[in-house]
Structures are given as structure tokens and as C-alpha cells.
Chains A and B, each alone.
Chain A
């Protein structure tokens, strides 16, 4: 029996809308649950004072700082490397077997569980290079972890820039480098920023790779060679060791809000950037 197109259309809309609603509901439930349990302990005091008694009492200030510094360091390392690689692969090489191997490699790297990166970071940065448990070890490890994402998203964004823009630029006497800087990258920027935001998100929420490389120190780091604890790791430790469920949820609530705010800020910046170029 054939279902008339009018009904298949209705069924499709219903199924798709249902899937969307279900996703949204789960998401909102999780956020609502965490905020509901966590927000009551969040206060100025909680945000800006040092933890006491392993986090059983006091605030989360050092972990807040850790959650800002570590992703920033990782991005500062991964973005130039990732965007540079993407530019090289798209603009400076022809499609060859070598570029395919590199792309396959980055794809494989993207699928590796983060704990493996953690172990690698521990063995290589912490032990071999003797960086110890530190911001530096953690930042480098996270940088390697998010590099594939940044390379791939940047590559796609760069490829999406119309070929005709490049031809125009060349025809106006630009070198390849000038074309990359003035035409390709500005137009690929929204896509690149999306990749970077994904990377930051992964860094902020990462625990396994961070515990192994940045450690668990609850003091404010004074240099890149100091150990630091991020909010995600703090939450994990508090909950896992049963130190304080309340403070664990408080930390989680701050984490969620921080992630939302970063994303909002990024979108706002990007829209302003695009609006300025097309006004």
C-alpha cells in the first residue's frame, strides 16, 4: 500500500520535529538539573575564594583560573599549527598521495580517546621532557588532542572560499601569501572560529587528559611549570572521591555557564566581523 505524499510529508515533519524536541528536552533537562542543584552554592565568595579542606569548603577560584589558562594555552599552540597546516594542505600543495595520508592521519588522530592523549602527554611531556605536572604539559597535550579538529574545520572553511576570489586576487598582482592573508583567511574565519570554539569546548570539559598532565594542584599557578586543576577535574575529583556533592554541582554549574558564555561571545564576535565585511 502506498501512503499518499501528503501523509508522508506530515509523518516526516512529525518524526523530525519529535527528534528535535527530544534532543532539546534531554539537553535542557541536564542543564536544568545541574543548575538547579549547583546554583544555590554559587556566589561571589564561591567564585573568587580559595578552596579549603580539599574543596570540601571554600571556593573554586584556582580551578576557574585553570579552566581559563589551560584552554587558552592549548589554543595558542594549536591554532597557528592547525590553521597553518590547513593553509599548507589547501593552498600550497596539489592533491597528492602525501596529502591524503596526512588527512587520513589527522582523521585517525581525531578518533583516539582522550585518555590515550593523556598517557602520551604524561610519558612525553611530564616524564621525558621533565615538564612535570604543569600548565605547559597540559596545554601541549590538549593542543595535540584538538589539533585534528582544528585542521579539518579550517581546511573545510578554506576550501569553501570561492576559487574565483583567489583568481581575482592573483590577477591583481597578489602573491599566494598575500592572497591567503587578505582573501582566503578572512573569508574562512567564521569556519575556523567554529573549529576553535569546538576545541575550546573540548579543552574546558576534558578530564582524563588533564589529570595525567596538568595534575591536581589547588593552588594558583605562578608559571607554566606549575600544576593546575581545571573546573572539570575539580568536579570529577569532588564527586568521585565523595568530598562534597554540593560543591561538585556548584562547580558544574559554573562550568556550564562558562561554556555558554564563551560560545555566546564567540558568536557575537563573529557576527560583528561578518556584518562589518558585508555592510
Chain B
């Protein structure tokens, strides 16, 4: 087995007739941050949602190719989707706290996974600390998560995902709409977290990818154009389209 946590082979995703991902092949290495960049509509979100099989929820979705998690095909009929989603956590582009307390939001996944009640307090503190939110909310854990600011909500969603203790964390533009300070906090959290997790970070902000990603993949119109160490993608890209995009000369 290679060092890749996730192996993607000739992945095609169709919504009805339209094809949103065109035969993507790449490896997601373990304990690193993979940044995914690309213009709007290039299939970045679709790619993430394929990894934890959230696309299954949309009607008329059709998937071809292979996605292997630790060598196991996640689309195999015997593969347990619910278990998969416990192993691959996701933070959505728009923060969606569930309409319940901060505390209940954080333990939502752990509770379902059967984590014992006496472990919850510790789990909530650890997860909120890892998401750099603890100090701001420790005195109001039992108030609604919906009362938090946008940036706090996004960090709550990160904490909620971390509390599941997943193996992989998928983040879909977690910093869009956040101020530089919140963004810095999330980025700091990610660089610490990669020691424990495999992270895939979709971002519209190429600078962010340059700052935090170890590897970067560039998507364009459903295709994965180029994939490699971040330094290489941003300095000596092999493809002209990548070069145009990262230097902001796109279009």
C-alpha cells in the first residue's frame, strides 16, 4: 500500500446528463494538507462530496471510476456509507450549526457513534480548543449554536467535525466570508491538525493554498489539470492554464 490515504482513479461524476468531474486521477497523501484550487464551477465541491458519498443524496447522480480509502473501494455495495462518513468528516462552505446548543452540536457525531456520556465534557473542550473557539464560548456552551457569529459558527462546524475523530477532514472553502483573524485561526488549526488527520482543503483563495497546503491540485471545468507539491504548482507549474490561474491572468 502506498502512502496515499485516498486513491482516486478515473473518477467521473454525472448529474443527470451533465458531467461535473472528468476522469480525475490522483492520490491524497496521508497526514498532509491537500489544497484544491480552481475557478467557480470547476468541480471542487463535487470532488469533496464524492469522497464522503454525500453526492449519493442527490437524485440522478451517477459515478464512474474508483475511490479507495486505505485501499478499500468506497463505492463497493458492501461498503458501509455511514461508517465512511464517520471516518471522513466534512466542513461545508456555509456554516450550518444545527439548531441546538453549542455543546450538542459538538457531540452530535460522537453521541451517534456511541461515545459514553462521561466523555462528552472533555471531548467538547478538546474539539473546541482545536478549532480555536473554546475561549470565546466556554461560558455559554448551552446556548444555541445559531447565536454565534459567522466566523465562530464556521469554527464550531470544524470542532463538530473534529469531535467525530475522523481520519480525513474535508473542508469546502471554510474561510469564505471570514475576516482575516478568523481565517488565520482556522489556518493555524489546520496546520496543527495535519499531524493527526489527512486534510483536503478546497479554497477560492489561491494565497491560502500557497500558505497552508503541502500539495495543491488545480481543477478546471471538471478536470484535474495539475497536481503536485504546492511550491511547484505556484512557481514552476507544468501546465500553462495552471500558471495563468495562479498568477491571476486567467480568463
Q: Which of B54, B82, B98 counts the most A-chain CB atoms under 10 A from its CB? A: B98
Asked whether any CB of chain B lies closer than 8 Å to the CB of A251, the reply is: no
Interface string of A137-171 (1 = CB under 8 A from B): 00000000000000000000000001011111111
A278 & B99 in contact (Cβ 8 Å cutoff): yes
Nearest chain A CB to B166's CB is how many angstroms away? Answer: 9
Given contacts A167-B57, A168-B92, A279-B144, contact A174 B98 (CB under 8 A): no
B86 & A187 in contact (Cβ 8 Å cutoff): no
Provide 19 A-B residue pairs closer than 8 Å at the C-beta atoms, listed in order of the A residue.
Answer: A94-B59, A164-B92, A166-B57, A168-B98, A170-B85, A171-B85, A171-B92, A172-B85, A172-B89, A172-B164, A173-B109, A173-B112, A173-B113, A173-B164, A174-B108, A174-B112, A277-B99, A278-B147, A279-B143
Given contacts A165-B96, A278-B99, contact A172 B57 (CB under 8 A): no
Q: How many residues of B contact A (CB 8 A)?
A: 28
Main secondary structure of the interface of A (DSSP, over half): helix
Interface residues of A in 219-237 (CB under 8 A from B): none
Q: Which of A94, A165, A178, A279 contacts B98 (CB 8 A)?
A: A165
A171 & B90 in contact (Cβ 8 Å cutoff): yes
Interface residues of B in 56-106 (CB under 8 A from A): 57, 59, 82-83, 85-86, 89-90, 92, 94, 96, 98-100
Asked whether any CB of chain B lies closer than 8 Å to the CB of A183, the reply is: yes
Q: Give the docked Cα–Cα distance between A102 and B148 (Å).
A: 42
Q: Give the docked Cα–Cα distance between A162 and B83 (Å).
A: 24
Q: Which of A94, A162, A173, A277 contacts B85 (CB 8 A)?
A: A173
* Identity of the chain B residue whose Cβ is nearest the Cβ of A277 in the assembled complex: B99
Residues of B within 8 A of A277 (CB): 99-100, 144
Q: Which of A164, A169, A178 contacts B94 (CB 8 A)?
A: A164
Residues of B within 8 A of A167 (CB): 54, 57, 92, 96
Residues of A within 8 A of B108 (CB): 169, 172, 174, 182
Asked whether any CB of chain B lies closer than 8 Å to the CB of A175, the reply is: yes
Q: Which of B57, B59, B82, B146 contacts A173 (CB 8 A)?
A: B82
Q: Give the docked Cα–Cα distance between A186 and B144 (Å).
A: 15
Interface residues of A in 173-204 (CB under 8 A from B): 173-175, 178, 182-183, 186-187
A171 & B82 in contact (Cβ 8 Å cutoff): no
Residues of A within 8 A of B82 (CB): 173-175
Nearest chain A CB to B154's CB is how many angstroms away? Answer: 13
Asked whether any CB of chain A lies closer than 8 Å to the CB of B161, the reply is: yes
A169 & B90 in contact (Cβ 8 Å cutoff): no
Q: Which of A165, A166, A174 counts the most B-chain CB atoms under 10 A from its CB? A: A174
B residues neighboring A (CB under 8 Å): 52, 54, 57, 59, 82-83, 85-86, 89-90, 92, 94, 96, 98-100, 108-109, 112-113, 143-144, 146-147, 157, 160-161, 164
Q: Which of A171, A174, A175 contacts B54 (CB 8 A)?
A: A171
Q: Which of A172, A178, A277, A278 counts the most B-chain CB atoms under 10 A from its CB? A: A172
Nearest 8 CB-CB pairings of A with B: A173-B86, A172-B109, A171-B90, A164-B96, A173-B85, A278-B144, A168-B96, A173-B109
Residues of B within 8 A of A182 (CB): 108, 112
Residues of A within 8 A of B164 (CB): 172-173
Q: Give the docked Cα–Cα distance between A168 and B161 (Å).
A: 10
Q: Give the docked Cα–Cα distance between A75 and B146 (Å).
A: 33
Residues of B within 8 A of A171 (CB): 52, 54, 85, 89-90, 92, 161
Q: A167-B96, A169-B98, A172-B112 are in contact. List 6 more A-B contacts (CB 8 A).
A: A167-B57, A168-B157, A171-B90, A174-B112, A182-B112, A279-B143
Given contacts A167-B57, A171-B90, contact A187 B143 (CB under 8 A): no
Residues of A within 8 A of B161 (CB): 171-172
Residues of A within 8 A of B83 (CB): 173
Interface string of A72-107 (1 = CB under 8 A from B): 000000000000000000000010000000000000
